[in-house]
Amino acid sequence: MAEINITEEQREEYYDYLDALRESNVTNMFGATPYLKKKFKLKEDIARTVLTDWMHSFSNRHPKS
């Protein structure tokens, strides 16, 4: 994952939010950066990195049954 200065607790909160956003079908996840920015008051580069990390880790965190 890319290096960003957030705690594991923050990462978990961001990932939970992104998981819920994905389930809601409100947006294509490639367009989720503005949602992260607004919800957590993140800078653009941090929100983009969190989203990219979330995407890269998704299949490991949600293995198919």
* pLDDT at residue 30 in the model: 95
Q: Quickly count: other Cβ atoms within 10 Å of residue 15's Cβ.
A: 17
* pLDDT tens-place string over residues 2-60: 578 899 999 999 999 999 999 999 999 999 999 999 999 999 999 999 999 999 998 88
Per-residue model confidence (pLDDT) at position 55: 95
Q: Distance between CA atoms of 54 and 40, rounded to whole angstroms?
A: 15
Exposure letters 18-35 (e unless 16+ CB within 10 A, then b): beebbeeeeeeeeebbeb
Task: Pull the structure tokens for residue 43.
Answer: 């800078």
Q: Is the pTM of this model over 0.85?
A: yes
Tokens representing 63 are 């293995």
Tell me, what's the pLDDT at 40? 97
Give yes or no for a contact between 10 and 24, defined as CB atoms under 8 angstroms apart.
no
In this predicted structure, what is the pLDDT of residue 23?
Answer: 94
